[in-house]
Amino acid sequence: MNDETHLDERLRRALRAPAPPPDLAARILAQRPPPKPRRWPALAAAAGMLLALGLWPSPQPAGEAFVAHARDEAGLRQRPAAPPLAGVELMKRCRVAGRDYLHLRLALDGAVVDAFLGAPPPDLIDQGRAGDRLWRRLTRDGRSLVLVYPPGLDPAPVADRILAHLKPSMEVPRT
Amino acid sequence: MDAKGFEDWVRDHHADLYRHALWLVGDADLAEELVQETFYRAWRGRGALRRRQRPLPWLLGILRRACFAEIARRGRYAPETYFEAGAPGGEDVAHLARALARLDPAQRDILLLYALHGLSYAEIARQLDIPQGTVMSRLARARAALRKAWGGPWEEAAVIPFPGSRR
């Protein structure tokens, strides 16, 4: 076996090592059609809330099936979502240690605020810019909203707007 | 294509599509969503698949467009979370993930088309909409970059067919 073939064999073997979750095929078939809950049910609920709030970013950050599910979660199928709020960007939706969270970046009156809905990993928060401050509030049912905001900005209005729309049924993980 | 045919597509191809997405975007959760999105779009657009056309290249086209849109949106490739957290394959796979992180997405993509799916040069040329000669030269550059990043005793050599592929 020459070196090139050896490289190809090693590459092919390594590329095939990861396997999909065993239930992935079943989930794909279950969602066809209409789209059914996909991965991240908690995030679909949270995204639905953002749609309802008009906080859903534009351009669209997720696939149409995910958005359709999120709209269902928010009860928006029969009514339009609020118009998108300019200056909101969904930076990341992620699952860490079995918990989902959303990372939003909101541009408010010239200030940038990072909002973490759910359970943001501490190291992500630590990446906040020097001088930024951390603000955390637990909702009535124990869910968490974390804001990383610059000095001089009052985070409460931002948080209040989001928290006011949190519903007990929304499956944002507890912290 | 009927529902039974679609089920066959899913069962036959979802694993390799998942691997393609995982290696290309470097995020297992995102890879799952991209594969689901691919099949959702495939089902909705199934009328566009020509009779006797192989489904895999068509599905790959849908998946790759979705992957590159996500890469453009995210702007970073960080597979360490998955590949260094007890993922299957051991150290060599984790090492490959680090090596692929040094390649640009287009180089990762062409290596996947070639080595993971065993596509012919002609099929890769159609996927990328470039001439076959360009496929060969890009593949040679990608392999050279991988060889340098991944390590090993290999020397520079011309591109040769992948064993078992249709070339």
Considering only residues B159 and A3, tell me which one the structure prediction assigns the higher pLDDT.
Answer: A3
Specify if B155 maps to a domain: no
pLDDT value for A7: 79
Q: Which of A1-10, A31-40, B122-131, B138-147 bottoms out in mean pLDDT, i.e. has the lowest?
A: A31-40
Question: Which of residues 84 through 103 in chain A touch B, CB cutoff 8 A?
Answer: 94-95
What are the boundaries of each domain within chain A?
35-163
Indicate yes or no: CB of A15 within 8 angstroms of CB of B116. Answer: yes
Mean of pLDDT values over B92-101 = 84
Contact B82, B27 (CB under 8 A): yes
- Give every residue of chain A whose pLDDT is below 50, as ranges: 34-40, 58-59, 81-86, 125-129, 139-141, 165-175
pLDDT at residue number B167: 37
> Which of A15, A65, A95 lies closest to B115 in CB terms?
A15
Say if the Cβ atoms of B29 and A19 lie within 8 Å: no
- What letter does residue A85 receive in the DSSP assignment? P
**pLDDT exceeds cutoff 80 at B86:** no
Strand partners of residue A107: A112
Residue of higher predicted confidence among A161 and B45: B45
* B158 occurs within a structural domain: no
Quote the pLDDT of residue B130.
Answer: 94
Residue B120 lies inside a defined structural domain of this protein: yes
Mean pLDDT over residues B15-38, rounded? Answer: 89
Question: How far is Cα B55 from Cα B53, in angstroms, rounded to an integer?
Answer: 6
> Do B163 and A5 count as a contact with CB atoms less than 8 A apart?
yes
Dihedral of the CA atoms A146, A149, A154, A159 (nearest 10)?
A: -30
Q: What is the rounded distance in angstroms from the CA atom of residue B47 to the CA atom of residue B5?
A: 13
Is pLDDT of B58 > 60?
yes
**Angstrom distance (rounded) from CA B119 to CA B15:** 16
- Predicted pLDDT at B84: 64
Among B73, B112, B157, the residue with its CB nearest the CB of A4 is: B157
Q: Which residues of A touch B117 (CB under 8 A)?
A: none
Alpha carbons B159 and B96: distance in angstroms, whole number: 20
pLDDT value of position A141: 45
pLDDT of B57 higher than 60 = yes
SS3 B156: coil
Q: Which two tokens stand for residue B22?
A: 């995982």
- For the ranges A35-44, B49-58, B115-124, the maximum mean pLDDT occurs at B115-124
Tell me, yes or no, whether B160 lies in a domain. Answer: no
Instruction: Looking at the complex, report in whole angstroms how far the Cα of residue B164 sits from the nearest Cα belonging to chain A.
Output: 11
- Residue B161 belongs to some domain of the structure: no
B115 closest CB neighbour out of A8, A25, A94: A8
Phi/psi for A88 (5° steps) reads -110, 130
pLDDT at B157: 31
The CATH number of whichever domain residue B24 belongs to comes to 1.20.140.160
Q: What is the arithmetic mean of pLDDT over B16-30? A: 90
Q: Considering only CB atoms, which chain A residues are within 8 Å of B153? A: 3, 6
Q: What is the pTM of this model?
A: 0.56
Q: State yes or no: pLDDT of B129 exceeds 60.
A: yes
Q: Is A24 on the interface with B (CB under 8 A)?
A: yes
Does a structural domain hold residue B163?
A: no
What chain A residue is nearest to B91 in terms of C-alpha separation? A14
Q: At what angle do helices A3-15 and B132-150 cross, to 10 degrees?
A: 80
Q: What confidence category does residue B159 fall into, taking pLDDT thresholds of 50, 70 and 90?
A: very low
Confirm whether B165 is domain-assigned. no
Strands A88-96 and A133-138: unpaired
Residues of chain B found within 8 Å of residue A66, distances taken between Cβ atoms = 33, 37
Q: Does A2 touch chain B (CB under 8 A)?
A: yes
Is B88 domain-assigned? yes
In this complex, the residue of B23, B36, B88 whose CB is nearest that of residue A38 is B36
Q: Look at chain B and report how many structural domains it folds into.
A: 1
Domain carrying residue B104: 3-150
Average pLDDT of B71-80?
A: 73
